[in-house]
Each structure stands twice: as C-alpha cells, then as structure tokens.
Copies of this chain bind each other. A is one copy, B any other.
Amino acid sequence: MITLEKVRQTAESDARTYGYYLHPDPDFLKDLLEGLKRNEERYGYPSCPCRLASGKFELDRDIICPCDYRDPDVAEYGACYCALYVRKDLFEGKTPILPIPERRPVVKQARAYGGAVEAPVIEKSSETATTTVKAASSEVKLKLWYCRHCGYVVFAEDPPYVCPICKAKREMFAELTISVEAAG
C-alpha cells in the first residue's frame, strides 16, 4: 500500500532533481499529496489531483504527475497547474502564486472525456474565422523523437515541452526514423 509519506518523498525528490519547490502552505500541500495518493489507489497511477482522469492510462498519460505541462508552466508562470511544484521566488513569497491557465490541448481533453462527443468548436473572438478542433480520436500513436541539441531520445505521442536533459524547447525535437536498406 502506498503511504502519504511515500508520496511526499517522491514529490520532494522530483522537486530537487529539477530545482523546484513544493507549495509552501503545508495544509494545501497535504491536500494535493492526498489527491495524488487517492488517484494512485483508484487508477494505479498518480494522475493530477486538480484534473479529472478518465481512468484509461493512454488517455490520462499526459496528466500523470509530474504532468507533461509542469515544466513549461513552471518556466512561464512559476508554478504548475496545481501549484504542487513552484519556482523558488514563489516558494519564498517574492512572487504571488496566481491561477495557472490550462495548457492541456483541447483535443486531448476531448479525447479523454469521450471520443464520441461532437468535436468542440472554438471561436476566436479577436478574429472572424472559426477554428474547428479536429474530432477527438482515442487512438494514441507513439513515435521516437530526439532532441537536436543534446540527443536525448524519447518514445511518446509528442516530444516534451522542455528537454529534461538540456532544457531545450519542444521545437528542438525532431522525429527519429529508422530506415532499412537492402544490402545489394
């Protein structure tokens, strides 16, 4: 059985690896850790305590904590969506911890919360055009990617927002394809 202490130690260890801090308020932090523990027990993986999981691993994969959006959110806003992980200046109270907008793409949300529902239509208020989000498919296709800066290799649907090895942006990743040639 997983204990709250184990959940806390994993989060602390991960925070230290990436130079982050856990939320400074002990009660708020405990609520988040209990949410992670509950999700681990319910689904078998610690999905984000602030988002609704589908219970299907492949569709929830991007919101398993640490979620795919943590690193770009901490880089841009100083905190992840939940504010479980925060930057030093927010931990020390020098910068306020404000609500973080949801970075998870609408297509991934729609895919997780029911692939059969009609595709959501997003109206861009500042333009006259209407953007239609492609109908959500529950198919997840994994590919090999590599960081063109440091060479880090990852097998995932999309490359990471930030390279965990050299901190390069997502744009630095390219697909790694394996070609086979006949010998003669």
8 Å CB contact of A152 from B16, B146, B154, B180? B154
Complex: how many Å from CA A16 to CA B122?
39
B150 touches A154 (CB 8 A): yes
Chain A interface SS verdict (over half): mixed
A146 nearest CB across to chain B (Å): 4
A49 close to chain B: CB less than 8 A: no
A110 nearest CB across to chain B (Å): 22
Complex: how many Å from CA A88 to CA B178?
42
The residues of B that contact A145 with a CB separation of less than 8 Å are 151
Tally chain A residues at the interface, Cβ within 8 Å. Answer: 43
Complex: how many Å from CA A16 to CA B14?
12
A167 close to chain B: CB less than 8 A: yes
A10 close to chain B: CB less than 8 A: yes
A23 close to chain B: CB less than 8 A: no
Complex: how many Å from CA A15 to CA B14?
13
**A148-B57, A160-B150 known; A9 and B155 CB under 8 Å?**
no
8 Å CB contact of A146 from B18, B155, B166? B155
Can you sample 16 A-B contacts with CB below 8 Å? A6-B75, A9-B75, A15-B19, A16-B18, A17-B18, A17-B19, A45-B172, A61-B148, A64-B149, A66-B167, A142-B151, A146-B155, A150-B156, A151-B156, A151-B160, A164-B165
